[in-house]
Homo-oligomer: A and B are copies of this chain.
Amino acid sequence: MAHSEEAYLAEPDHAISDAALDTIFRTARTMRQWQDKPVPATLLMAIYDLMRWGPTESNITPARFHFVVSKEAKARLEPLLDEGNRKQTMAAPATAIVAYDLDFASTLPKLAPRAAESLSAMLAKNPDKARYMAMRSAGLQGGYFIIAARALGLDCGPMSGFSNEGVDKEFFAGTQIKSYFLCNLGYGVPTSVRPRAARLGFDEACKIL
């Protein structure tokens, strides 16, 4: 182990290493085929333990993560997937249902004690605002989740092709939790990736004013 490198990386205002930037962004690819190599529960917990520190509006952290791992749970999920997503999801060691809790107000006494009372009163009167807040912050948290999984050496296969209503009924009945997207997790088969799709150039997506 090269401890001098670790110390160098820990200096303030310093970028993380080029190899790490590759791992989390540049060479990471959405995987659609999976090696037969399990993901231990401790590693799923480690993803959450990292990503939960990412910022959200007023620290509401509305995202919820239900990891579908067992054969029984996979069988409940399978018919709710678009046909094109079934084979890869059944083969993945784990599939996260990334969701948001519309009742995030109930967690505010812990998460935002000073604002909890006034924020909860506002949200109770304004369910559209609660939904907007939940979706916006859960979206950020979904991004943190994917990066955290990659940072821990996993590959991701995020998917939107499934029945949100079906998943909510099967997995979240009796709660206000709503599915947002799915994310297969495991160790992918690198040769299975599609050719990389284009991205917008800086001037197409950004402006400096």
In the docked arrangement, what's the CA distance between A206 and B48, Å?
A: 8
Chain B minimum-CB-distance residue to A147 = B147
On whether A205 and B52 interact (CB within 8 A), knowing A15-B153, A198-B110, A200-B61, the answer reads: yes
In the docked arrangement, what's the CA distance between A86 and B140, Å?
A: 23
Cβ-based interface call for A54 (8 A): yes
Q: How many copies does the complex hold?
A: 2
For chain A, residues 84 to 132, give those with C-beta under 8 angstroms from any C-beta of chain B.
Answer: 107, 110-112
Cβ-based interface call for A187 (8 A): yes
Chain B minimum-CB-distance residue to A208 = B67
Q: Are A9 and B20 in contact (CB under 8 A)?
A: yes
On whether A151 and B16 interact (CB within 8 A), knowing A200-B107, A202-B45, A208-B69, the answer reads: yes
Partner of A54, one of B14, B25, B61: B25
Q: Are A151 and B20 in contact (CB under 8 A)?
A: yes
In the docked arrangement, what's the CA distance between A145 and B206, Å?
A: 12
Instruction: Please list 8 pairs of residues, one from A and one from B, whose beta carbons are closer than 8 Å in the complex, sorted by A's number.
Output: A2-B5, A9-B17, A17-B17, A48-B202, A61-B199, A64-B206, A138-B139, A139-B140
**Residues of chain A whose beta carbon lies under 8 Å from any beta carbon of chain B:** 1-2, 4-10, 12-26, 28, 30, 41, 44-45, 48-55, 57-59, 61, 63-70, 72-73, 107, 110-112, 133, 135-144, 146-148, 151-154, 156, 158, 160, 171, 180-181, 187, 190, 197-200, 202, 204-209
Known: A14-B23, A14-B153, A59-B199. 12 other contacts (CB 8 A): A13-B187, A16-B16, A16-B151, A17-B17, A24-B24, A25-B54, A48-B205, A54-B147, A57-B160, A135-B136, A136-B181, A140-B146
